[in-house]
Amino acid sequence: MRRWPSPSYTGTVIDTVSMRRSRDLPDDEDADVDFHERLAALELAVVSDRLGIPELATTAERRRSEWEHDATHVREAAVAVDATGRDVGAWVVDVPVRDNLDTADVQVLDPPLSAVTDSEADDLHAALLADALATVRRHGRHVVFTHEVLKEVVGESLPPHVLEPVAGGPADADLRFAVVWDLPAGSAIPARSGSGAVSRSDRSVRRMTAAGFVPVQLERFSVLDLIDSGGTGDPHPSLRSVSWVDDAPVEWAAQLADLYSVFEATVPTGGASFDPEVWDVARLRAVEATARAAGVVRVVSAVAEGPRLLAFTVFEQTPGSPLVFQEHTVVRPEVRGLGLAAAVKRANAAHLRAVSPDAVTVCTWNAVENPAMIAVNTAAGFRPWAFTVLWELRLDR
Ligand SMILES: CC(C)(COP(=O)(O)OP(=O)(O)OC[C@H]1O[C@@H](n2cnc3c(N)ncnc32)[C@H](O)[C@@H]1OP(=O)(O)O)[C@@H](O)C(=O)NCCC(=O)NCCS
């Protein structure tokens, strides 16, 4: 583990930082490993601070592997180092190269720092963001997305079931957000999705709006403690559940790729300026290979009617980690509202327990304007933990 130098630091952080950029790294493995470890340490500090679940942070090994194997994105990052040699922040830019050729995703990593005032931290965040945007421009992209964790959610802007805790309710200490009500006029900015609003009293909102970003979509981050929820059974006499780990069996690959396209075309995006990805078997195989190379296990269940898949859901887990990520769930539009999402999720939870004794907690993100998915998840026992917001910025051409 890399140690940060001792805190002899007293200057204004922004005046002293220098940037170490991935694109300037020497072509040698040690430098690459060191860079990714520093990035991972910064992300760990940020995720622990904002979400309180360190396992959510991307490990250095996983990020290195994704950068090397995922041919659908080009990635760059930079670590900001202060005069004492301390790593004080970073940014990561993801540029899609297969679809959405005018967009880029930016992640700013600004961990809590000792001996730095709030306004210095704001300046550092702004400097990191500006540096990341320069890279976005260099790639010729004009639409920028970034996710931030909210400290406050505006109560009356959300459908009531989104805030609803399950029976017993989460302990207050677990919640990473405060619900604010009755804000003065002009203090809340509605998300473009039409569901949810952000509050100008939230520090991250002030930072992002100052940089020209607009809030597009709020997402609820929720967690589920895995318990045995009982039998699964087939969802209907003419349907059957099928499950696998990692790569889809050959007979299901084309159907699974098609379901990914259905997901992309029908998941709520809040009106964000990106196009649905179109999947084929080659793309599916590339995603499966990237996961395998990064040591990520994919635990998949689907509902089949004859040779056709009607629904699927996937968990991702790094073996040994207690944390499991609930990734895509989709049901074909013509059979929605019949309980298939709930059935396929139950089947996959049982499959997960059978294949992964390490799994303890599942986490998921849901758009707040997706009542069906939130209803299914609430019934399964997920409880709200935090809220994030997707921000969008349009850069001048
Ligand atoms: C979300 C999705 C998977 C739900 O699939 P489904 O098979 O229709 O879901 P189910 O029939 O199992 O359950 C739907 C539940 O949501 C409820 N629901 C459906 N539409 C609703 C709405 N507009 N408002 C409130 N609740 C709603 C249903 O009443 C049901 O709850 P119940 O069992 O308590 O009655 C499906 O709509 C879909 O594929 N959407 C596009 C992809 C997507 O958004 N995936 C999730 C991304 S995180």
For residue 376, the CA-to-ligand 1 centroid distance in Å is 6
Q: Which of 224 and 333 is assigned the larger pLDDT?
A: 333
Answer yes or no: are the C-beta atoms of 5 and 87 closer than 8 Å. no
Going from the C-alpha of 348 to that of each of 315, 318, 330, the distances in angstroms are 8, 17, 13
Instruction: Please give the order of strands across the beta sheet that includes 383-394.
Output: 18-21, 73-81, 87-96, 103-109, 143-149, 383-394, 214-225, 361-367, 323-331, 308-317, 297-305, 240-245
* Tally of CB atoms within 10 A around 119: 9
Name the residue of 222, 269, 315, 329 to mutate for ligand 1: max ligand atoms within 8 A of Cβ.
329
CB-ligand 1 contact for 366 (6 Å cutoff): yes
Mean pLDDT computed over 163-175: 59
| 9-63 pLDDT, tens digit each | 445 677 789 999 999 999 999 999 999 999 999 999 999 999 999 999 999 999 9
For residue 297, the CA-to-ligand 1 centroid distance in Å is 26
CB-ligand 1 contact for 22 (6 Å cutoff): no
**SS3 call for 186:** coil
Mean pLDDT computed over 58-86: 95
Q: Which of 272 and 233 is assigned the larger pLDDT?
A: 272
Query: What mean pLDDT is reported for the chain?
Result: 91
Going from the C-alpha of 248 to that of each of 86, 287, 294, the distances in angstroms are 45, 11, 17
For residue 55, the CA-to-ligand 1 centroid distance in Å is 28
| 180-236 pLDDT, tens digit each | 999 998 999 999 999 999 999 999 999 999 999 999 999 999 999 887 555 566 667
Mean pLDDT computed over 137-165: 93
Domains of the chain, CATH where assigned: 13-141 (3.40.630.30), 240-359 (3.40.630.30)
Q: What pLDDT, on a 0 to 100 scale, did the predictor assign at position 163?
A: 87
Q: Is the pLDDT of residue 174 over 80?
A: no
**SS3 call for 50:** helix
Q: What are phi and psi of 86, to 5 degrees?
A: -80, 135
Q: What pLDDT, on a 0 to 100 scale, did the predictor assign at position 165?
A: 65
Mean pLDDT computed over 97-110: 97
Q: Which of 170 and 319 is assigned the larger pLDDT?
A: 319
For residue 162, the CA-to-ligand 1 centroid distance in Å is 14
Q: What pLDDT, on a 0 to 100 scale, did the predictor assign at position 175?
A: 80
Q: What pLDDT, on a 0 to 100 scale, did the predictor assign at position 10?
A: 46
Percentage above 70 pLDDT, the chain:
92
Most confident range (mean pLDDT) of 232-246, 324-338, 366-380 is: 324-338
| 253-262 pLDDT, tens digit each | 999 999 999 9
Mean pLDDT computed over 129-151: 97
At 164, the pLDDT band (50, 70, 90 cuts) reads confident
Name the residue of 373, 388, 390 to mutate for ligand 1: max ligand atoms within 8 A of Cβ.
373
Lowest-pLDDT range, 9-13, 158-162, 169-173? 169-173
| pTM (2 d.p.) | 0.91
Lowest-pLDDT range, 11-25, 76-90, 317-331? 11-25
Q: What pLDDT, on a 0 to 100 scale, did the predictor assign at position 236?
A: 77
